[in-house]
Structure 1
């Protein structure tokens, strides 16, 4: 992989075009699956090769007359979170907080408002969290559910993945 080819825009300052390049580069590093039931909207495989986005979440949101794909923002969050968990051994809550800010900046850098993006996420979060799990990937990293002591969801995930 030629890293220099991924850098289309250059700046050492905060720059939305450079961040847009980052989103594209991150998506090239993982497989993205919309085939499973994923509590908390999205997650990742234990080996960090796949980002799972709940199959019930819409793939786009309407924004100022156009459809904007949601996956780049969720992938950014999940990759950053997983890297911080695995490489720096942070607690899930700390890794999640940093990943959430990276996701927020990616959303804003794409010209959306965080409030409108969050409205879409929150509108689907409860129904996804309460859904009957039918399809769960066997390699889903369960660290977030363990670190949050979310044992009811953890139990449902393990039972369904079998």
Structure 2
């Protein structure tokens, strides 16, 4: 697909429709897998071609009578974070903070409140982080766990990947 075809709306101002186009474009660039156990809810492959979302996270949130998919927001976060890590060599915490802001913008732009979205994430975060890792992708990028010195999770991931 030509890049011009992905741009359906135009504005140089902050615009939810332009952001929605960008979120859609980001999703086209990766494969998304919900088949694995992923600490911190979501992650990405070393080659940036796959975004992994923990298999226990619900796929939707009910909002004002509509089931809204969570995947586009998580994909936005993960792709932005990975690009900043790989292309600009930022520390994970800095890349994560910028990615969170992009994710937040995508959530709000879709008409969902950040508070409602975060309530779903926080409700599942602890159980996902503490789950027994049974299925871990062999190509999961471990940079976030290394940069945070989260050796306990790193150890669990490495054991599970074997």
Cα distance between partner residues in 1 of 2:99 and 2:75: 10
Paired residue for 1:65?
A: 65
Paired residue for 1:26?
A: 26
Cα distance between partner residues in 2 of 1:79 and 1:10: 22
- The aligned runs of 1:80-159 (5 Å cut-off) are 80-159=80-159
**Residue 153 of structure 1: CA displacement?**
0.2
Deviation track 1:30-84 (CA, whole Å, cap 9, x = no partner) reads 0000000000000000000000000000000000001000000000000000000
Cα distance between partner residues in 2 of 1:158 and 1:11: 45
Paired residue for 2:17?
A: 17
Cα distance between partner residues in 1 of 2:92 and 2:24: 25
Q: Which runs of 5+ in 1 are unaligned?
A: none
Normalised by the length of structure 2, the TM-score is 0.99
**Residue 22 of structure 1: CA displacement?**
0.5
Paired residue for 2:8?
A: 8
Cα distance between partner residues in 2 of 1:3 and 1:13: 20
> What is the RMSD of the two structures over their aligned residues, measured on CA atoms?
0.4
SS state at 1:61 partner? strand
SS state at 2:56 partner? coil
Cα distance between partner residues in 1 of 2:161 and 2:35: 13
List, as ranges, runs of 4+ consecutive aligned residues in structure 1 with deviation greater than 6 Å.
none
Normalised by the length of structure 1, the TM-score is 0.99
SS state at 1:97 partner? helix
Cα distance between partner residues in 2 of 1:152 and 1:8: 45
SS state at 2:125 partner? helix
Q: Which runs of 5+ in 2 are unaligned?
A: none
| Number of residue equivalences | 162
